[in-house]
Amino acid sequence: MSTDTASFYFPAPRTQRYCSQCAHALERAIPPDDNRLRDLCNNCGAVHYQNPRNVVGILPVLNGQILLCKRAIEPRYGTWTLPAGFMELGETTLQGAIRENLEESGARIEVQSLFTVIDVPHANQVHFYYLAKVLGPELDPGVETIQARFFALADIPWDELSFRTVRTTIEHYISDTRQIDSGSLSAYPVHNYAIKLTDSA
């Protein structure tokens, strides 16, 4: 057995080869009374269901500026993102988003409302972003962040953003802010939409 430490841990593959209950080889089949292919164990009877993973995060704003974090991990190392990550077991989406913000930026925040709910079916994910007011300029980014800083809306590094869900969430915020400033919108709404693999955004 190798004693080398991995420099990066990849998520477990969606399709499994062996049963996590009895270590028997799995087969792909449609169980009785089901309508999808599943990983089945013919030895112990376990059905290994796979479901979408939730990504939860914060859109943090201080005096009209958006807080972004430069990623110190793959994927998309060195690009800018909103503080976000995978939801943990036992968390609500809000609890997970607050935790991710604390881990990645260290910013003190006051959560205001759910802002975007984004279906990403090609990645088997759903992304939730909460709009939050940052309570002060002090930041304390963790090990997953190279740098955290505030950007004026005119200075967002669009070509260096990490993911399309980050880009579209920021685009919605800028559009909504302009409509609120003009009086055509009274508050930030919740945006629910899907991003497809073929989308260019």
pLDDT digits (tens, 9 = 90+) for 8-58: 666 677 778 999 999 999 999 999 999 999 999 999 999 999 999 999 999
Does 3 score more than 60 pLDDT?
no
Q: Is 44 exposed, middle or buried (0-12, 13-18, 19+ CB in 10 A)?
A: exposed
Domain boundaries, the chain: 11-50, 53-194
What are the C-alpha distances in Å from 65 to residues 61, 62, 99, 156, 168?
5, 5, 21, 9, 16
pTM here? 0.90
Can you identify the CATH homologous superfamily of domain 53-194?
Nucleoside Triphosphate Pyrophosphohydrolase (3.90.79.10)
Q: Which long-range contacts (CB under 8 A, 24 or more apart) does 96-103 make?
A: 96/54, 96/56, 97/56, 97/57, 97/58, 97/128, 97/129, 97/130, 98/58, 100/56, 100/57, 100/58, 101/57, 101/58, 101/60, 101/132, 103/142, 103/144
Q: How many residues does the chain have?
A: 201
11-50: what CATH class? mainly beta
**Gap between the Cα atoms of 116 and 128, Å rounded:** 6
Average confidence score pLDDT of the chain: 93
Taking 90 as the threshold, does the pLDDT of residue 119 lie above it? yes
